[in-house]
Structure 1
Amino acid sequence: MKVREESSRIIKPSYDEDSPPPTTNYIPLGVFDKVTYNTHIAVIYAYRPPTPPYTTLELGLQKALSVYREWAGRLGQDDNGDPVILLNDEGVRFVEASVDSTLNQAMPLKPSESLLSLHPRLKGVLELVQVQLTRFTCGALVVGFTAHHLVADGHSTSNFLVAWGQACQGLEITPLPLHDRAIFSPRNPPHFEFDHTGVEFMNKKVDKLYPLVTNFMDQEREIVVHKVHFTLQFLANIKAKASSMNGSNKPYSTFESLLAHLWRVITKARALSGLETTQVRISVNGRSRLNLPNEYFGNLVLWAFPRAKVKDLLREPLPYAAKLIHDAVVKVDKNYFKSFIDFVSNKVEDEDLIATADMNKSVLCPNLEVDSWLNFPFCDLDFGGGCPYIFMPSYFPIEGMVFILPSFIGDGSIDAFIPLFEDNLPNFKQNCYSIE
């Protein structure tokens, strides 16, 4: 698939009022922004014809940017050197491209390097949002979208995308985002109920003394991203199995049950030593924990870290792993979030700490990191011709970084994108649909 770039330009917010807002203001990064990934994330959409013209998409994006001004700004610093989002309206990257084939000829869009040509590059980019619109000869449209994670988490980003679609249809953007990132005030006196060093943060000096060492043999091994589809029936079976030892308690969620299964299958495929410890990094949305509306715009995520010895994870039945996951997520509650706010506000600078969230690693083994998009309205991006018939993450060949999202089939089934060493893939495939 050869993608030809037709044009690339910067577009800026458009405002209804005669006098646009000042471009000298800024928003300090909030406590949860400072602990997230300092990188762009890319997603891919595909739409069947007829699709709207570029002009419609551009005008809609300009309107959405007037409501979500942060995306049209730039990352910078205030007079004290603290990180901020500059509300300077310098704009976002808007690329028009084409392919001399039908989308069906390029299908299926498997997780491979070819996906990287469907969105702008992710590194060395000043713009906080980038859009690439790629037309195929059949009239199909692929939208490649990148967004900087320091500005917003997946929930906020998907809300912005829905707003873009509303603006393209001439609809009122609703609900409006809540922009105030200064609402997370520490308690007086602060209460450090939990230890956040070694969890969300690590010591900068220790990081420099003991940098990540990747096994030389691992560097030589090929990483492939394998897409797995789980039907509604399989999900029901895995949930029943995972919850079979709960007694009268509430069954585990579909996500907890599926992740427990994947954790065990991936660990088995990796052929790890039984004495090794494996853990999973799971995002936990703080909006419900802190009684904040879904419209809060920014990052509001912490992580749960269930862990186990490999021998225990594989020897015990599925409910064991499901309980580890459930209990770890439950512990990241309101009190944990408040403890984190107190910690960031009082300890991080004093103790010279840096965030542990890092997408520069190429291998996570023996651990996993799981990004669940099951509850985000990503698939609701409708430019006027209906919702996408393909939605997927871009190509992220980081061994152990798993993406879980609703299948674009739309029947409630789930797709998982699982990067593994190529030599571990046969074992994974052999056990992927086996419910033990």
Structure 2
Amino acid sequence: MCIGKGEFTVKVTNKEIVAAALPMQEHWLPLSNLDLILPPVDVGVFFCYKNPIITTATHHSIVGCLKNSLTEALVSYYAFAGEVMTNSMGEPELLCNNRGVDFVEAFADVELQSLNLYNPDETVEGKLVPKKKHGVLAVQATWMKCGGLVVACTFDHRIADAYSANMFLVSWAEIARPNDNKSLIPTTQPCFRRSLLTPRRPPSIHPSIYDMYVPISDLPPPPEPESDIKTDPIISRIYYVTSKELNNMQSLANSNNNGGSSKRSKLESFSAFLWKMVAEAASINNENIVAKMGLVVDGRKRLSNGDKNKEELMNSYFGNVLSIPYGGRLAEELVDNPLCWVADRVHEFLEAAVTEEHFLGLIDWVEEHRPVPGLARIYCGSTGGEEGPTFVVSSGQRFPESKVDFGWGKPVFGSYHFPWGGSAGYVMPMPSPKRNGDWLLYMHLPKGHLHFMEAQAPHFFRPISWDYLIN
């Protein structure tokens, strides 16, 4: 089987199912209320390694190492070896039956350093990152013509958020690395205790949650196909931004702080900068549109609330513990006001979602509407007659690229790949593999907006290149 698209061909050389090394009793694992607000979307992640062939290693032994360590990792991370089914209420539920992971071996007729990482739609999508057809997780190991290797995974977002996937990736690599005293039990044991996210009796839901989330039964019908003809297509690009530019941006975002204690973080500052840029790109033909931006918040620390025992459990909790607060502003005011003003608006809408009460209330909100699924309003794009750009920023600063070393060295490059299918855009900043304070930016936004940003701020949005990575 060959997958041909773009400038090179990927040939699948082997397919098999890799299951956990130890048998398990089949059981059902319910999704938490915070899992149930995720749509059925898959997330991709990939890592590029320079030629890992060492003196005694071969293609066969390296792929064998990946498979053998995966079978051990799945003993602890058994959720990734299961299947999502529909229960009697019509809700998704995880059947932990050790169905296993689809593992694909492939060969790409291209050298690693010839991959155009800037345009992952052409070089990564459907070629190096596998399409998940069954189960919860799919893995693909692709050898390159130069002897390089790309290891990629695709997982069901309803089962795991990026935090959970990162735990798994680090544990998998930890088991694979040669070590005389190595244990096959990963250092971090995932916690599947759904009781940590139990709804309250009676519920207590802050009105702001009704603004952030919506039952899908309340969504308007999708637009007719004809109305999408003029829509700017959403595409994926990967950039890098230097630490110098990030620091300059953060200084501007804090220019009205006057030495106060509430300093805007780099993520808040970057999100404000991007909100302004997207608003400017979208308002060229219409200044009266509303530009909306959401920020993904991880609730693990919020739900711990100083309880050391709960903190330990939440730190290893496997599942989704996310919320997406958002703000909407007229594009004109975002463009006309300074970055520090926009950063203050970002901080304002974030404040409502960085508390324990917010996450407990969100759990209660889902319970109130079950079995009707809920969805973050920002994911739905422009709704309620408010035409304008919408996008979500999700921090990938904990992306563990440097820890995904299977025994032949750290990756030279790694990134999430998440063309999530919604009508809203998606942006994830991650640390550069150079570990010098630079960021990588995975950006899934309208093509016209990306072209505008590249033209207006080429010093900031620099296309990722191998020259940058290896020099």
The normalised TM-score by structure 1 is: 0.89
1:164 aligned partner: 172
* Alpha-carbon separation, structure 2, partners of 1:102 and 1:112: 18
Q: Kindly tell me: are residues 222 and 152 of structure 1, through their superposed partners in 2, closer, same or farther at Cα, counting changes over 3 Å?
A: closer
> Given the alignment, which residue of 354, 378, 398 partners 1:375?
398
1:268 aligned partner: 280
Secondary structure of 1:245's aligned partner: coil
Alpha-carbon deviation of 1:82? Answer: 4.1
* Alpha-carbon separation, structure 2, partners of 1:280 and 1:356: 12
Alpha-carbon deviation of 1:34? Answer: 0.2
- Higher deviation after alignment, 43-52 or 277-286: 43-52
2:322 aligned partner: 301
Q: Kindly tell me: are residues 41 and 349 of structure 1, through their superposed partners in 2, closer, same or farther at Cα, counting changes over 3 Å?
A: same
- Judge conservation of contact 1:135–1:142 (CA < 8 Å) in 2: yes
* Alpha-carbon separation, structure 2, partners of 1:5 and 1:201: 42
- Judge conservation of contact 2:48–2:414 (CA < 8 Å) in 1: yes
Aligned pairs (5 A) from 1:314-353:
314-332=335-353, 333-345=355-367, 347-349=368-370, 352-353=372-373
Secondary structure of 2:429's aligned partner: strand
Q: Which consecutive unaligned segments of at least 5 residues does structure 2 have?
A: 1-7, 54-60, 305-310, 461-471
- Residue type at the aligned position of 1:315: D
- Residue type at the aligned position of 1:89: N
Alpha-carbon deviation of 1:404? Answer: 1.6
Secondary structure of 1:265's aligned partner: helix
Aligned pairs (5 A) from 1:268-287:
268-271=280-283, 273-287=286-300
Aligned pairs (5 A) from 1:241-252:
241-247=252-258, 248-252=260-264
* Alpha-carbon separation, structure 1, partners of 2:43 and 2:318: 17
> Given the alignment, which residue of 14, 28, 31 partners 1:29?
31
- Judge conservation of contact 1:197–1:203 (CA < 8 Å) in 2: no
Once the two structures are superposed, residues 270-322 of structure 1 have per-residue CA deviations (whole angstroms, 9 ceiling, x without a partner) of 23533222111211000011014321100000111122111111111001111
* Alpha-carbon separation, structure 2, partners of 1:89 and 1:358: 35
Q: Kindly tell me: are residues 129 and 397 of structure 1, through their superposed partners in 2, closer, same or farther at Cα, counting changes over 3 Å?
A: closer
The answer to whether the aligner puts 1:127 opposite 2:135 as a matched pair is yes
- Judge conservation of contact 1:289–1:334 (CA < 8 Å) in 2: yes
Alpha-carbon deviation of 1:380? Answer: 2.0
- Judge conservation of contact 1:37–1:359 (CA < 8 Å) in 2: no
- Judge conservation of contact 1:194–1:339 (CA < 8 Å) in 2: no
- Residue type at the aligned position of 2:43: I
Q: Kindly tell me: are residues 407 and 220 of structure 1, through their superposed partners in 2, closer, same or farther at Cα, counting changes over 3 Å?
A: same
Secondary structure of 1:32's aligned partner: coil
Aligned pairs (5 A) from 1:199-238:
199-204=212-217, 206-207=218-219, 209-212=220-223, 216=227, 219=230, 221-238=232-249
* Alpha-carbon separation, structure 1, partners of 2:44 and 2:101: 14
Q: How many residues are paired up?
A: 424
> Given the alignment, which residue of 6, 9, 14 partners 2:13?
6
> Given the alignment, which residue of 69, 76, 79 partners 2:85?
76
Q: Kindly tell me: are residues 214 and 274 of structure 1, through their superposed partners in 2, closer, same or farther at Cα, counting changes over 3 Å?
A: farther
Alpha-carbon deviation of 1:75? Answer: 0.6
> Given the alignment, which residue of 115, 118, 125 partners 2:128?
118
Q: Kindly tell me: are residues 131 and 358 of structure 1, through their superposed partners in 2, closer, same or farther at Cα, counting changes over 3 Å?
A: farther
Aligned pairs (5 A) from 1:186-201:
186-201=199-214
* Alpha-carbon separation, structure 2, partners of 1:359 and 1:91: 30
The answer to whether the aligner puts 1:255 opposite 2:267 as a matched pair is yes
- Judge conservation of contact 1:224–1:397 (CA < 8 Å) in 2: no
The answer to whether the aligner puts 1:401 opposite 2:417 as a matched pair is no
- Residue type at the aligned position of 1:354: G
Aligned pairs (5 A) from 1:134-153:
134-153=142-161
Secondary structure of 1:275's aligned partner: coil
* Alpha-carbon separation, structure 2, partners of 1:110 and 1:249: 40
Alpha-carbon deviation of 1:111? Answer: 2.1
- Residue type at the aligned position of 2:40: N
- Judge conservation of contact 1:44–1:143 (CA < 8 Å) in 2: yes
Secondary structure of 2:103's aligned partner: strand
> Given the alignment, which residue of 384, 388, 403 partners 2:407?
384
2:41 aligned partner: 39
Once the two structures are superposed, residues 38-74 of structure 1 have per-residue CA deviations (whole angstroms, 9 ceiling, x without a partner) of 1111112101122561111000001000101010000
* Alpha-carbon separation, structure 2, partners of 1:252 and 1:150: 31
2:67 aligned partner: 58
Q: Kindly tell me: are residues 334 and 57 of structure 1, through their superposed partners in 2, closer, same or farther at Cα, counting changes over 3 Å?
A: same
Percent identity reads: 25
Alpha-carbon deviation of 1:242? Answer: 0.2
Q: Kindly tell me: are residues 96 and 301 of structure 1, through their superposed partners in 2, closer, same or farther at Cα, counting changes over 3 Å?
A: same
* Alpha-carbon separation, structure 2, partners of 1:219 and 1:93: 38
Alpha-carbon deviation of 1:417? Answer: 2.7
> Given the alignment, which residue of 235, 240, 244 partners 2:251?
240
Alpha-carbon deviation of 1:219? Answer: 4.3
Alpha-carbon deviation of 1:344? Answer: 2.0
The normalised TM-score by structure 2 is: 0.83
- Residue type at the aligned position of 1:338: L
> Given the alignment, which residue of 393, 412, 416 partners 2:441?
416
* Alpha-carbon separation, structure 1, partners of 2:153 and 2:108: 17
- Judge conservation of contact 1:38–1:358 (CA < 8 Å) in 2: no
Once the two structures are superposed, residues 166-206 of structure 1 have per-residue CA deviations (whole angstroms, 9 ceiling, x without a partner) of 111244401111111232222232222234335222350x3
Give the superposed CA RMSD: 2.6
Once the two structures are superposed, residues 3-57 of structure 1 have per-residue CA deviations (whole angstroms, 9 ceiling, x without a partner) of 1100111110002xxxx3212x111010100011311111121011225611110
- Judge conservation of contact 1:177–1:297 (CA < 8 Å) in 2: yes
- Judge conservation of contact 1:380–1:387 (CA < 8 Å) in 2: yes
* Alpha-carbon separation, structure 2, partners of 1:342 and 1:128: 27
- Judge conservation of contact 1:307–1:324 (CA < 8 Å) in 2: no
> Given the alignment, which residue of 312, 316, 321 partners 2:333?
312
Secondary structure of 2:246's aligned partner: helix
* Alpha-carbon separation, structure 2, partners of 1:56 and 1:45: 16
* Alpha-carbon separation, structure 2, partners of 1:82 and 1:424: 37
Q: Kindly tell me: are residues 4 and 361 of structure 1, through their superposed partners in 2, closer, same or farther at Cα, counting changes over 3 Å?
A: farther
